[in-house]
């Protein structure tokens, strides 16, 4: 018998289509060689007519008996195949139209997709680029905040939350300095340290307790330490909480002091206490960091009473007594000796009632000056009277006074040059001065 003989369903045989099985359509071939259902032995080659097709044919839509009869279906006529020939599956791709099938719950449709695209376009127009320059009408997102009058947190630790406003609509920020965990450590031997990182702090309050004997520690800071041990260290000042006492070390202590120390740690990276003397026991240090807006109380401020030690020597030279001098001009050059010996001109006042200026000349001489010959050390002009108001001369002498070592002489002339001998009128110029001896 020949295998895989293709038969024309239109010649003596019956071929029918089966129903769907599990959603797949199968061809079912019923071979009736005698036309009456009887088994007919087959030997040799069977004649084959019609068109040859591949073993697998794509099927679209419902398959009818007439369509199967009009097609050439290849059939395997081996003994093994005949025994299982009641159904034959068609492999390959079977296109199926799903246009009439219902959509899953919540599936998008063309209408909802179009609406979503419109919404996305609208949202894109409200988002601005992070580095874009602002212009009126620039896109942006509205950010909301919640009014919260109390200071308690509305969210648990680690949860996200929104910005809060106070009762006046202002953004609510911290209303108190940040609080930090205390740093503690023990000194149980000489050379030991208790360090703390202070990069985020402004001040420290430190205190020691415990049972110990003769322990001294220094206060040290570092700008380059990375772990509280390495780097360069230097002494820093701390002020006692109970007095204006500035210290760089505690001094030898054998019991917990009744005071603490406060110090500024601005710009430091690390602070530590380091023992330079230790006899026995455990000295427990507690350091409380703070972030204050101001420095600690200045230790250099002056209290009401300050102790003074040493010898204070004070030398006070009282001012020399002054003697007044008055000169009312005569119709001469008015050369005269005011005083012999070292003297000081403390004050000076002069008036001129004449229509022309007058010039008062002061000499450093032990005798009366020779006007026109001796050279004066000071020439003081006195302006002429104006509309009956006398001219006034009042030079700024100062606190030290003008000193004349030999003596003080005076003259009054009508011209400024020191050799002038022009006389003034009687009573024209009046001079009032004070001098010392």
pLDDT at position 52, please? 45
CATH 3.30.720 fits 322-436, yes or no: no
Beta 322-328 vs 358-364: how paired, if at all?
A: unpaired
Q: Give strand pairing partners of 207.
A: 286
- Judging by DSSP bridges, how do beta strands 146-147 and 164-165 pair with one another? parallel
| Those residues with Cβ within 8 angstroms of residue 30's Cβ, 6 or more apart along the chain or in another chain | 13, 14, 15, 16
- C-alpha span between 196 and 182 (Å, rounded): 10
Position 174 scores a pLDDT of 72
The per-residue pLDDT string of the chain (437 residues; one tens digit each, 9 = 90 and over) reads 344 444 444 444 444 444 555 555 555 544 444 445 444 454 444 454 444 444 455 555 665 656 655 555 555 556 666 666 555 555 555 565 656 667 677 776 777 888 888 888 777 777 777 777 878 877 777 788 889 888 777 788 889 888 888 888 888 877 677 778 899 999 999 999 999 999 988 899 999 999 999 999 999 999 999 999 999 999 999 999 998 889 999 999 999 999 999 999 988 999 999 999 999 999 999 999 987 755 655 666 665 677 778 887 878 777 667 889 999 999 999 999 999 999 999 999 999 999 999 999 999 999 999 999 999 999 999 999 999 999 999 998 887 889 999 999 999 999 999 999 999 999 999 999 999 87
Same fold for the pair 183-290 and 322-436: yes
Give residue 10's pLDDT: 46
Contacts of 264 (CB under 8 A, 6+ apart): 202, 203, 295, 296
Domain ranges of the chain: 1-92, 183-290, 322-436
pLDDT for 75 equals: 55
Which CATH class name applies to 183-290? Answer: mainly beta
Could you tell me the end-to-end alpha-carbon distance of the chain, in angstroms, rounded to an integer? 165
């Amino acid at each position: 018998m020949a295998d895989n003989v293709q038969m024309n369903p239109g010649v003596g045989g019956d071929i029918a289509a089966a129903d769907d099985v599990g959603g797949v359509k199968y061809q079912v071939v019923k071979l009736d060689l005698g036309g009456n259902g009887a088994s007919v032995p087959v030997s040799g080659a069977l004649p084959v007519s019609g068109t040859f097709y591949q073993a697998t044919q794509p099927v679209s839509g419902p398959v009818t008996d007439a369509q199967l009869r009009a097609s050439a279906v290849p059939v395997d006529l081996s003994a093994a195949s005949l025994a299982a020939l009641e159904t034959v599956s068609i492999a390959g791709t079977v296109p199926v139209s799903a246009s009439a099938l219902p959509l899953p719950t919540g599936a998008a449709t063309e209408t909802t997709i179009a609406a979503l695209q419109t919404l996305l376009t609208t949202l894109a127009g409200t988002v601005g680029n992070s580095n874009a320059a602002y212009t009126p009408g620039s896109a942006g997102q509205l950010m909301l905040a919640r009014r919260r009058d109390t200071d308690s947190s509305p969210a648990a630790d680690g949860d996200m939350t929104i910005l809060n406003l106070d009762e006046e609509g202002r953004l609510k920020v911290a209303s108190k300095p940040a609080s930090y965990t205390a740093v503690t450590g023990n000194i149980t031997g000489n050379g030991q340290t208790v360090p703390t990182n202070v990069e985020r702090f402004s001040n420290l309050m430190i205190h020691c307790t415990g049972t110990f004997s003769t322990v001294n520690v220094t206060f040290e800071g570092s700008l380059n330490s990375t772990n509280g041990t390495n780097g360069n260290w230097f002494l820093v000042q701390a002020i006692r909480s109970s007095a204006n006492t500035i210290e760089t070390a505690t001094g030898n202590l054998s019991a917990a002091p009744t005071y603490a120390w406060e110090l500024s740690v601005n710009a430091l990276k690390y602070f530590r206490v380091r023992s330079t003397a230790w006899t026995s026991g455990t000295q427990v240090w507690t350091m409380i960091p703070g972030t204050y807006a101001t420095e600690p109380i200045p230790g250099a401020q002056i209290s009401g009473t300050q102790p003074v030690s040493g010898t204070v020597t004070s030398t006070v030279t009282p001012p020399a007594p002054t003697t007044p001098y008055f000169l009312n001009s005569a119709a001469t050059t008015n050369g005269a000796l005011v005083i012999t010996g070292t003297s000081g001109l403390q004050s000076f006042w002069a008036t001129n009632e004449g229509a022309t200026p007058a010039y008062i000349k002061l000499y450093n001489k032990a005798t009366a000056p020779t006007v026109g010959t001796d050279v004066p050390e000071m020439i003081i002009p006195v302006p002429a009277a104006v509309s009956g108001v006398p001219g006034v001369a009042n030079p700024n002498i100062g606190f030290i006074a003008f000193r004349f070592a030999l003596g003080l002489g005076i003259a009054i002339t009508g011209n400024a040059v020191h050799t002038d001998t022009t006389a003034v009128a009687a009573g024209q110029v009046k001079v009032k001065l004070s001098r010392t001896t």
